[in-house]
Amino acid sequence: MSTIPASPLAKIGAVHQVKTWWMMIRISLEERLAYRGDFALGTLMRFLPIITQIFLWGAIFNAVAAQSGNDENNPPMLGGYALPDMVAYFLLTMIARAFSSMPGLASGIASQVRQGEIKKYLIQPVDLISFLLCTRIAHKLAYYVVATLPFAFVFFLCRGFFTEGFPPPAYFIAFLGSLVMGFMIGFFLEATIGMISFWLLEVNSLLLIFMLFSFFLSGHMFPLSLLPPDIEWFVNLLPLKYLAYFPAAIFLQKIPEDELATEMAIEAGWVVFFIIVCRWMYERGLKRYSGFGG
Amino acid sequence: MADQTIRPRYVKVFLTFAQNSLIRDMTFRADFIFQCISSVAWTAMNVGFYLIIFRFTSMIGEDTGWMRDEFFLFLATVWFINSIVQAFFMPNMAEFSELIRTGGLDFALLKPIDTQFLISLRRIEWSALSNFFVGLLIAAFSLYSMATRPIDPIYPSVVSILLYVFFVLCGVAIMYSVMICLAATSVWLGRNQSLYDFWFYITNFSRYPMEIYNTPLGRPLLGFFIFVIPVLVVVNVPARILAQPLRPRADWEWPLALWAVMSTVIAFTISRWLFKKSLKSYRSASS
């Protein structure tokens, strides 16, 4: 017996595969850049809450310094962060979130499942997860193209808060790596939640709970090292910290150099884990899928 | 005589709106309960955040008097005002910019009732009031803790509680006025998608004690958000009345309270004027 004939998808070949991906990316990119002015302004406005954060933390650190007797040479530290670090931290989490946040991904998958649009991917030689990933990469690229200027502007204004200056090459490479992996974890984690809709149809409430925890436990609200030790160790085991806390902590060199490689390896492990879970759930979900609607 | 019969009875109309919204909310009861839980959870998360902060410090800002109990009373005030605004006005404002875009405002303009009243109160989101009850709980806890602590206990007087309620209502009126002003801009811009965002960014400044802005860099902000967009008096004035009664009143506190009343009147008048003006330049989108 001859081998099973290769599916048409395999015959297309790697070059065409890349071309398909590139086309997906280009379409989404152009769609996104249509409203760039409004977009850039919106990005700039998103930094406004940082102003209140600066004042709030300024007041907190002031009170801590007053309690410990206002020692000029020994400024107060909260969870390993001095006041400028804290502000730098919040700015950096904005970058981390720009990579890891996936607005509308899970709910988009859920509505496609509910309305039967998933059928499209079963007929066409396009894989759902790769298509979503390409679209998302394009959205993110478009976002960075437009957002770089406002980001650069704000970071330039706030350069004084980065007391340690630019991190050494090893840290900077780790920072870039953690951003990319943060994107992957954010994508596959939320896609996995979206896949749950094969079983539940409606995932919005589940998503809200996830967002709630993610907001608090990813370090978006405060550096995780402020948590009481008996909670902190547990939160550090969760993958949520890679969405905001981890990249910022790397950039500010709050992670000891000898732990850096291990931490990055663990993060890579989480990426692989979520890719597998997401794929597996998709396969299982399709078996259950009954294609309502048209 | 004929005049009186067509005058709308605002209270009755409002009660009907409230009833309809409640019926609608109760139709999707599980969703309603879930929304209550999730908004309470957000609040709980905020409480958690400040509890973590107070592990490191006993006061927000040096010598400001915003210790843990006082500060939680402040937060409770934030939640009172926010939950009222979110329950009564927020869903309507979100709908309003849609009405502008789709031309649905025509129907609101045709009704024999004040347009601002109609578009501000049509829908009430009852689930948002769950945070009001969390606020009550936290306020009660803070007041109890303040009254029973060994070092300078504080007891609220009847007058201070009445003043507190009065200034909370003033605060709601100011927030509402800011919101109406934002809504009016959406008439001119055709659509104002960032209405929500703007609202969030502006009111974000009102959520903290004003003392934190009392630094060389913060003073312009302080002035701006007290006198130009008076969101800083919204929470600060009522919270101070209840939370810091024993300290000798600083000489700026009564003028500030007076200003809070004045700014309520001014903000309300301006927003009303702006809204009416914006309606004049409304051009129906479709039909």
What number is the ipTM of this complex? 0.84
Average pLDDT over residues A218-231: 90
Q: Whole-model pTM?
A: 0.84
Q: Which pLDDT score is estimated for A4?
A: 44
Residues of B with CB under 8 A from a CB of A: 31, 34, 38, 41-42, 45, 48-49, 52-53, 55-64, 194, 197-198, 200-201, 204-205, 207-209, 211-213, 215, 218, 221
> Residue A109 has which token pair?
């998958």
Domain carrying residue B65: 2-280
Which three-class secondary structure state does DSSP give residue A78? strand
Question: Is B197 within 8 Å of A55 when comparing Cβ atoms?
Answer: no
Average pLDDT over residues A49-71: 84
pLDDT at A2 over 60: no
Tell me whether residue B267 is in a domain.
yes
Mutate to test the interface with B, among A52, A64, A222 (most CBs of B within 10 A): A52
Q: Indicate the pLDDT class of residue A144, thresholds 50, 70 and 90.
A: confident
Q: Spell out which residues of chain A touch residue B221, defining contact as CB-CB under 8 Å.
A: 51, 55
C-alpha distance from A8 to closest chain B C-alpha (Å): 45
Tell me whether residue B285 is in a domain.
no
pLDDT at A6 over 50: no
pLDDT at A25 over 80: no
Tell me whether residue B192 is in a domain.
yes
Q: What is the C-alpha separation between B171 and B74, in angstroms, rounded?
A: 13
Average pLDDT over residues A195-217: 85
Q: Spell out which residues of chain B touch residue A217, defining contact as CB-CB under 8 Å.
A: none
Count: domains in chain B: 1
Report domain extents, chain A: 14-288
C-alpha distance from A229 to closest chain B C-alpha (Å): 11
Evaluated on CA atoms B48, B49, B52, B56, the torsion sign reads negative
pLDDT at A1 over 60: no
Tell me whether residue B286 is in a domain.
no
More confident residue, B267 or B107: B267
Tell me whether residue B184 is in a domain.
yes
- Give, in order, the Cα–Cα distances in Å from A62 to each of A55, A65, A70, B60: 10, 5, 9, 8
**Smallest Cα–Cα separation from A251: which of A173, A150, A155?**
A173
Q: Which pLDDT score is estimated for A3?
A: 45
pLDDT at A5 over 50: no
Tell me whether residue B276 is in a domain.
yes
pLDDT tens readout for residues A107-128 = 888 888 888 888 888 888 778 8
